[in-house]
Structure 1
Amino acid sequence: MIEITKRKNFIPVTDELISYLDQFGRCHALPTTYAELRSFSDSYPHFDKDGNATHWSSVMYPREIQQEIYPKLTSIYSLLRTGDLHAVPHLYVERVDYCEFGNSRPFRIRVVNQYNDNYDHFYVKTADASRVYGLELEHLLSPNRINYLMHRGGTLVEEHIAGIPGDVFMRDYLHRPDLNRVRLAKEFVKFSERCFIRLLGDMRSYNYVVDMTPDFEEVQYRVRAIDFDQQSYEGRKNLYLPQFFKENNLVVQLCSACLNFPTMKQYQEEERSLISRRYLSERQRITALLRCMKGNPVEPFEKVIQLRAELGQYHNTHLFDSCKSMGDIVEKNLEILLGRHLE
């Protein structure tokens, strides 16, 4: 079992990455920023519907600041969802929450439709290059599309990813008799493979969600990452394999009980084939993204040395020896694991 004991260093977004985001419609001038949201005057703990404490606090602003910021937040929500910056009149901000726990120290904005009380959330964070790379790779290589916006001043806006947090799922759903254990185990193997192929780390149980979709006979499951701060940052190979985190022990035990080794290999090959198809359809964009990653080698170089050595040993190859950045390592890992599918 492994642990992450230190916060990762903040990696600034480069001009080259900004140009990439602008080219693909991610860069926008937003009416308010992360720094302005930090001007709250008070906060109080936020509890879930069962009265349990969370890592979030609801924040309060002086009246004049709130009257200025809240309409800007509904405008940002409109831009995120419809591409139009004009605020929808019947939407309003009900609550702004703040979390000190995560690397990005995010704000969570709750937007409500006053006609039917339906609500949605989005997040405002400090932009970090690792996270942007992670969001883009998720959008391009995973079965999920990610909706987010980048402000040139260093603010990142992300949509809410719906699902049951992994730790909550293990606590409240894993023991249920109607759980399709084999289907869940299959999805966790495929999720782990997706993380390792593109080197997304720190997938502890509270950094992903389980999306449950009723099918005509059974429930389908999909595991989705919701935290991308640890995209190709750490030097230890096992940090990119979710099964090595103690927080995932219960679902790892489930996989061991339900799937034999040949079946796990089959699911891994299936996932590599699917990722290869996405890679081929987005090759030009992925190449441009990797060029940005390789041109911004600001991650601690000792981590690059460690990861290239561990991956070289794992794959039994010297192809990683010449890698000088995490971007080089991600590119080489994609080539090795997807190799025969890309021919």
Structure 2
Amino acid sequence: MSEKLMSRKKPAFPISDKLHEYLNEYSRNTKIPIFYEDLLRFAGSTVLYDNNDEDTLWIRVFYNEFDRQEIDLSLKRVYSSLHSDGSDRILQFLNVDAIDFCTFGNSQPFRVKVRNILNDNYTYFYVKKADASRIYGLELEHMLSPYNLNFLVYKDTLIEEHISGIPGDVFIKEMLPECTEPEKAQIAKEFVKFNERCMIRLLGDMRSYNYVIVPTHDFDHVVYRIRAIDFDQQCFEGKFKVYRPQFFKENRIMVDMVRDKLQRSSVDQYKIEERSIVAKRLIGYHERIEELLDCAKSDTISYEENVENLKMELLEFVQDIEFKKAGNMGEVLEAALDFVKRNYEDVSMKRLLHGPNKGL
């Protein structure tokens, strides 16, 4: 199913001057000592395999001695800017253990493993080619999801922090069968909410390998959350189904679990909960969202035929004439977010006027 949903390979869209100004305002734009292209100068590589001896589609890259010293120092400084105050004070305690390159997907990122030599704690960050779609996706995730995101942009290079979790495809294959029935019901609930959140903010291509499952121990049980990790397909595709994870074959097991574990009324309740939470975040981030949407409305992040198709599908889905007026993807996104916020405010006003047990 997913192969038919997705169109041809998405291009990378440049970051406009207006979007750069927005990133400056919110401390996302900063000068860093290395570019994505610098990491492409590797002299050799070796394939990385997982514990089952299967190709991970990542390769470990190596540089000649002179380049490696310069690159290591630059990456340590990037780490300091991303996770600390940007000074050189912590550099002596850091070591770049590995640099890996992904041969799969649109972004072809570099994954950098940085270790603190004092205690052997380590973390990752990613170096990618900057793409306007991904920037919009990261910012919307930061403001409209339960999770904050840390990233930096310098010209055409993007630095992203690592999002911890178990890849969805790995979890579904290896860990979901071992979950208890109550745990499966809780995961089903989270998938409903995740599906709704992606649909509302038009984040596409959430196949199982583009999100992670995050287990958290809470008293006597484990709580599972679902987080997106790939924001390449923000507001690009023209098919509405692409923005609804339930329609990808890779998520079929999750959809079946929702059907088996949740009643229709519960599914509807969880959808309303997620829409309300997103609406509250839209209100809380009102000024910043408006500035981001102003950038998107003056930007080109999709093809004209995708815009026309998506806005008509959304018009049919929600019966809101504002979608028909949209001239580009930024305006389609604005109409989608405004629709959610208006509905929340209308319901809240009715409850205020009629009381909690009247009208609704």
Matching residue within 173, 195, 204 for 1:171: 173
Matching residue within 298, 307, 310 for 2:310: 307
Q: Unaligned 5+ residue runs, structure 1?
A: none
Return the alpha-carbon distance in structure 2 between the equivalents of residues 297 and 117 of structure 1: 44
Matching residue within 267, 272, 295 for 1:269: 272
- Conservation of the 8 A alpha-carbon contact between 1:209 and 1:226: yes
Q: Which residue number corresponds to residue 81 of structure 1? A: 83
Return the alpha-carbon distance in structure 2 between the equivalents of residues 245 and 218 of structure 1: 30
Q: Deviation at 1:241?
A: 0.2
Return the alpha-carbon distance in structure 2 between the equivalents of residues 5 and 285 of structure 1: 31
Once the two structures are superposed, the pairs formed by residues 245-256 of structure 1 within 5 Å of their partners are 245-256=248-259
One-letter amino acid of the structure 1 residue matched with residue 2 of structure 2: I
Q: Deviation at 1:223?
A: 0.2
One-letter amino acid of the structure 2 residue matched with residue 2 of structure 1: S
Matched, 1:107 2:110: yes
Return the alpha-carbon distance in structure 2 between the equivalents of residues 5 and 232 of structure 1: 13
Matching residue within 130, 139, 143 for 1:140: 143
Q: Which residue number corresponds to residue 126 of structure 1? A: 129
Q: Which residue number corresponds to residue 295 of structure 1? A: 298
Q: Deviation at 1:118?
A: 1.7
Return the alpha-carbon distance in structure 2 between the equivalents of residues 235 and 89 of structure 1: 49
Q: Which residue number corresponds to residue 67 of structure 1? A: 69
Q: Which residue number corresponds to residue 227 of structure 1? A: 230
Return the alpha-carbon distance in structure 2 between the equivalents of residues 128 and 218 of structure 1: 40
Q: Which residue number corresponds to residue 36 of structure 2? A: 34
Return the alpha-carbon distance in structure 2 between the equivalents of residues 16 and 245 of structure 1: 34
Q: Which residue number corresponds to residue 352 of structure 2? A: none
Identity %: 44
One-letter amino acid of the structure 2 residue matched with residue 22 of structure 1: N
Alpha-carbon spacing, 1:109–1:159, altered in 2? closer, same or farther (3 Å) = same
Q: Deviation at 1:53?
A: 1.5
Q: Which moved more, 1:78-87 or 1:167-176?
A: 78-87
Provide Cα deviations, 1:251-308, integer angstroms capped at 9, x if missing partner.
1111110012111110011111111111111100000000000001352100000000
Return the alpha-carbon distance in structure 2 between the equivalents of residues 253 and 114 of structure 1: 46
Q: Which residue number corresponds to residue 14 of structure 1? A: 16
**SS of 2:206's equivalent?**
coil
Q: Deviation at 1:177?
A: 4.3
TM-score, normalised relative to structure 2:
0.93
Return the alpha-carbon distance in structure 1 between the equivalents of residues 300 and 119 of structure 2: 49
Return the alpha-carbon distance in structure 2 between the equivalents of residues 331 and 265 of structure 1: 24
Q: Deviation at 1:55?
A: 1.1
Return the alpha-carbon distance in structure 1 between the equivalents of residues 138 and 217 of structure 2: 27
Return the alpha-carbon distance in structure 2 between the equivalents of residues 130 and 342 of structure 1: 29
Which protein is richer in helix relative to its size? 2
- Conservation of the 8 A alpha-carbon contact between 1:80 and 1:149: yes
Q: Which moved more, 1:82-91 or 1:9-18?
A: 82-91
TM-score, normalised relative to structure 1:
0.97
Q: Deviation at 1:239?
A: 0.1
Return the alpha-carbon distance in structure 1 between the equivalents of residues 64 and 205 of structure 2: 37
Q: Deviation at 1:139?
A: 0.3
- Conservation of the 8 A alpha-carbon contact between 2:30 and 2:154: yes
**SS of 1:320's equivalent?**
helix
Return the alpha-carbon distance in structure 2 between the equivalents of residues 300 and 30 of structure 1: 32
**SS of 2:29's equivalent?**
coil
Q: Deviation at 1:92?
A: 0.6
- Conservation of the 8 A alpha-carbon contact between 2:13 and 2:300: no
How many equivalent pairs are there? 342
**SS of 1:145's equivalent?**
coil
Return the alpha-carbon distance in structure 2 between the equivalents of residues 268 and 103 of structure 1: 31
One-letter amino acid of the structure 2 residue matched with residue 82 of structure 1: S
- Conservation of the 8 A alpha-carbon contact between 1:71 and 1:92: no
Return the alpha-carbon distance in structure 1 between the equivalents of residues 109 and 15 of structure 2: 17
Return the alpha-carbon distance in structure 1 between the equivalents of residues 179 and 314 of structure 2: 40
Larger radius of gyration: 2
One-letter amino acid of the structure 2 residue matched with residue 245 of structure 1: F
**SS of 1:6's equivalent?**
coil
Q: Which residue number corresponds to residue 213 of structure 1? A: 216
